[in-house]
Structure 1
Amino acid sequence: MNQRPRILVLAALFVGVMVSMAIPSFAADKSVTITLPNSKVTINGQVVNNNYSKYPLIVYKDITYFPMTFSDCRFLGIESTWTGEKTGLLVDFTGVTAAYNPYLSSSQNKKSYSARIVSFPVKVNGKVVDISKEEYPFLSFRDITYFPMTWKYGVDAFGWDYKFDGKTGLVIQSKNIKVEQYQIPKTRLVEAYGEYEGKKSTAVMAKNGFVYYVTNKGAVMQAPLADISKAKAVFQLGIWSYGDGKQFDSHEFYEENRNAMLFFHSGGATMGSDHRYILKENGTVQKIQESYHETTLINNKLYMYYNGPMAGPGNLSVEELNASGSRSNLGSADYWFYSFCTTKGLPNLQMNGDELYIRASNVTGSQEGGGDYITDDPAVYKVNVSTNAVSRVSQSKDKVISAQISANTLYYMSASGEGSDCTYSIYKHSLIDGAESFMGSFKSELTWDQSFAVIGDHIYYLSNGALYRMGSNESLNPAAEAITMSVTGDHQEYLVCTFMETQQSKYRIMVFDQSGKAVFKTSDCGSNIVVEGNALYFYNITTETLCKAVIN
């Protein structure tokens, strides 16, 4: 393939579906002949399979063109937006990341085809491209727009590195974060219901040098990341007794206090039970919970509150680890205790010195003739684990929804109002001198699992399904609906949010550091995002692989 001076022989990758919907009204009548490249092309370490690609690279006027597909666009760190017939296509380098996800076909491609020249408006990084003066026009092939990459696009606009020689062919490296993919065995469970029904189970998590997944026989597997083929079973899930005799107990992996954790529910809602296990690096498991006593391991002790049928006041207790039968009551029967924090990745209960921080309601009486208790709205309390003294901490008169301790500071969120017009307020409370200050408020629909998180000096929260940072009314991922918000990192220094897979959602995973910078964003759907050091791991639902990226 001939090379011309300062011409980068490649092409951009954009949102094919959105563009192709508008192409018919813009496509010129002129057809041109295109061919498939004769040389090998490698992009970010991935060799492109042109022979069986649904959208192969093509060559026109001795220049290689790339297809503007959704996945490949983001694989190279660029995004596009179709804005309509008058303003056309916007192309921007944003540093977005995606795993390599080729569009493969069962039919082998021919050596040459016909394509059409298109003529819709284009802006690259905000600058208008004069299509009429372009020596290498945009092309339409298989209803996908193809982009010719000259030096001004590939190097000047997108900052890519490239080289070409007769032996290695064309090699392209983009500047966005690269994603390394690990293949997980295909003999895994399949999602039986929900948004990802029919796909491989999303219960896959990397932690402490291992990856955990569940086989289609219900075996919980632990495999070293260095060699996933050396997997071994560490636990066996049971068949769900309320199911069809084929489904295994509902389960998930999560991280807590730097441990890999397994949660599963067995039985029905009333007569069933919740189970929690630590998945240890040596391949053994440590039972933490097997009931509706919601349990948190702190300093080799199990602190728990009962949250099952017939729950009531005086439901807080403590038990020595590995000492069944040593459980003793904690706190006071005058209080009904609840979880301290509702944000994933943060402990359900939190200790500061000898004080266990928890939410609780003061019981002021009971209904006439027995039955329901009369309680105050939940607030943040501390329970001295040595003296059993219970003391109120939060000063807001509204009910407290969730709380978090960062260093010597308590943050908590209270709620007032009902339905869709609830007001949430966030407060900052010093654990040293008791000084409390109002940090801000927002309106959102009242939900039982509303959460927030403090990372560095920034407060993040969800409002009507969108992710916000306190101090700004603009969503951090406009028009995207959030699924989960969690905290991860060796020192809980990263905020992670996952989003629904919709056309309006630019990103499906976003990760923010302590400075508030989005250090990772991808269009791939994912679960179980874990950061260890500067390595970020997540299960990629889009490609059904485990992914690793180096951030910062």
Structure 2
Amino acid sequence: MLKRIFLTWLSALLMLSMLTSTAKAEGGTVQVRIAGFPVKVNGQIINNKQVAYPFIVYKDITYVPLNWDLIQEFELDVDWSEQEGLKVYRTCCATSYGKYPALEKSGLTQNPTTTNSLTSSYSAKVASYPIQIWGHQIDNGQEPYPFLEFRNVTYMPLTWKFAHIALMMDLQWSSEEGLAIWSGQDAVMQQIVYDDAEALYIDADRGTGGMLAMLKVDKTFQTHPVWLDPPQADAIRVKAKQAAETQASEGKA
């Protein structure tokens, strides 16, 4: 009899603990920590120890701050209204470029004004306002990894569903180099037109409007690529055409 009473009491205690935890996660405060592993955004290392809005970790999932600088770097779009809440989407993919041509895009701005502890836990809130990801309404209270608020900024979980499938961000992880996020990166180089003993000659997008130009790339990769002026590029194209014709006549093409 005493054993049955004890088991009933233990079951009730566990159920109460689970309900309290769920209620807390759905509408209140959760504990997060600052990401202690390396995080790179488009190849730029994030100074999580000192930036005001560091990457955080909740339930072993990394969260990204949706602040202005990172939104611009990722080339995402964000709308906010009291009635409809937060909308996150992407419009860059409708054009040949993203929002900005790659060579005109400035680097990510980081302001190391804060001291963040990598060993302490911090309080964050589960976001309670409406959230849409590319037109899809999120039931944040039911998400295993909900959107959070930390230091008055919305944080998005970098799950495969949200980051990669919905917003087409590329995520890479390794135990040595940490997390790498790629988003809003536009290709500059296109196809190799010609090569000689010293260099590769590559068609490339140089700026706004899809202007096509040519880069000379040292085969040793010891020097920076060099833009050719139009007459130089035309001369290379002539050489490429002549080489193709020679190969065709010799039956090598």
TM range (shorter): 0.5 to 0.7
Who is 1:79 aligned against? Answer: 77
Who is 1:169 aligned against? Answer: 178
**Residue 86 of structure 2 corresponds to residue 89 of structure 1:** yes
TM normalised by structure 2 equals 0.57
Measure how far apart 1:176 and its partner are. Answer: 3.7
Measure how far apart 1:109 and its partner are. Answer: 1.0
Matches within 5 A, 1:174-323: 174-177=183-186
The separation in 2 between residues aligned to 1:178 and 1:46, in whole angstroms, is 17
The separation in 1 between residues aligned to 2:108 and 2:179, in whole angstroms, is 19
Measure how far apart 1:178 and its partner are. Answer: 7.1
Distance 1:150 1:79, change over 3 A: same
Instruction: Show CA shifts across 1:420-447 (max 9, x none).
Output: xxxxxxxxxxxxxxxxxxxxxxxxxxxx
Match of 2:117 among 95, 107, 110: 110
Measure how far apart 1:534 and its partner are. Answer: 7.4
The separation in 2 between residues aligned to 1:126 and 1:39, in whole angstroms, is 32
Who is 2:63 aligned against? Answer: 65
Distance 1:48 1:534, change over 3 A: farther
The separation in 1 between residues aligned to 2:41 and 2:114, in whole angstroms, is 23
Which of structures 1 and 2 has the bigger CA Rg? 1
The separation in 2 between residues aligned to 1:127 and 1:161, in whole angstroms, is 20
Contact between 1:83 and 1:89, CA under 8 Å: does it hold in 2?
yes
The separation in 2 between residues aligned to 1:534 and 1:53, in whole angstroms, is 39
Contact between 2:65 and 2:156, CA under 8 Å: does it hold in 1?
yes
Instruction: Show CA shifts across 1:225-275 (max 9, x none).
Output: xxxxxxxxxxxxxxxxxxxxxxxxxxxxxxxxxxxxxxxxxxxxxxxxxxx
Who is 1:302 aligned against? Answer: none
Who is 2:106 aligned against? Answer: 99
The separation in 2 between residues aligned to 1:91 and 1:133, in whole angstroms, is 19
Distance 1:124 1:29, change over 3 A: closer
Q: What is the one-letter code of the residue matched to 1:69?
A: N
Distance 1:119 1:79, change over 3 A: same
Who is 1:158 aligned against? Answer: 167
Instruction: Show CA shifts across 1:90-111 (max 9, x none).
Output: 1111223453333323332123
Contact between 1:117 and 1:137, CA under 8 Å: does it hold in 2?
yes
Classify the secondary structure of the residue corresponding to 2:161. helix
Measure how far apart 1:162 and its partner are. Answer: 2.0
The separation in 2 between residues aligned to 1:144 and 1:39, in whole angstroms, is 21
The separation in 2 between residues aligned to 1:142 and 1:89, in whole angstroms, is 17
**How many residue pairs end up in the alignment?**
162
Classify the secondary structure of the residue corresponding to 1:50. coil
Contact between 2:47 and 2:112, CA under 8 Å: does it hold in 1?
no
Measure how far apart 1:57 and its partner are. Answer: 0.5
The separation in 2 between residues aligned to 1:534 and 1:74, in whole angstroms, is 28
Q: What is the one-letter code of the residue matched to 1:99?
A: S
Percent identity of equivalent pairs:
32
The separation in 2 between residues aligned to 1:102 and 1:133, in whole angstroms, is 34
Measure how far apart 1:81 and its partner are. Answer: 0.5
Classify the secondary structure of the residue corresponding to 1:108. coil
Distance 1:126 1:29, change over 3 A: closer
Matches within 5 A, 1:530-549: 533=213
* RMSD of Structure 2 on Structure 1 (CA): 2.7
The separation in 1 between residues aligned to 2:164 and 2:182, in whole angstroms, is 11
The separation in 1 between residues aligned to 2:133 and 2:214, in whole angstroms, is 32
The separation in 1 between residues aligned to 2:177 and 2:111, in whole angstroms, is 23
The separation in 2 between residues aligned to 1:29 and 1:119, in whole angstroms, is 7
Distance 1:177 1:534, change over 3 A: farther
Q: What is the one-letter code of the residue matched to 2:126?
A: I
Measure how far apart 1:29 and its partner are. Answer: 5.8
Q: What is the one-letter code of the residue matched to 2:89?
A: D
The separation in 2 between residues aligned to 1:92 and 1:177, in whole angstroms, is 18
Instruction: Show CA shifts across 1:504-538 (max 9, x none).
Output: xxxxxxx4x4xxxxx6xxxxxxxxxxx67279xxx
Distance 1:172 1:99, change over 3 A: same
**Residue 51 of structure 2 corresponds to residue 53 of structure 1:** yes
The separation in 1 between residues aligned to 2:41 and 2:187, in whole angstroms, is 11
Distance 1:107 1:173, change over 3 A: closer
Which ranges of 4 or more aligned residues in structure 1 deviate by more than 4 Å? Answer: none
The separation in 1 between residues aligned to 2:124 and 2:87, in whole angstroms, is 22
Q: What is the one-letter code of the residue matched to 2:84?
A: T
The separation in 1 between residues aligned to 2:91 and 2:107, in whole angstroms, is 17
The separation in 2 between residues aligned to 1:144 and 1:138, in whole angstroms, is 10
Q: What is the one-letter code of the residue matched to 2:145?
A: Y
Measure how far apart 1:175 and its partner are. Answer: 4.7
Structure 1: unaligned runs, 5 residues or longer:
1-27, 180-488, 495-510, 514-518, 520-530, 536-552
Classify the secondary structure of the residue corresponding to 2:71. helix
TM normalised by structure 1 equals 0.27
Matches within 5 A, 1:150-549: 150-177=159-186, 511=208, 513=209, 533=213
Classify the secondary structure of the residue corresponding to 1:80. strand
Distance 1:121 1:38, change over 3 A: same
Distance 1:178 1:47, change over 3 A: farther
Distance 1:91 1:167, change over 3 A: same
Classify the secondary structure of the residue corresponding to 1:99. coil
Distance 1:178 1:68, change over 3 A: farther
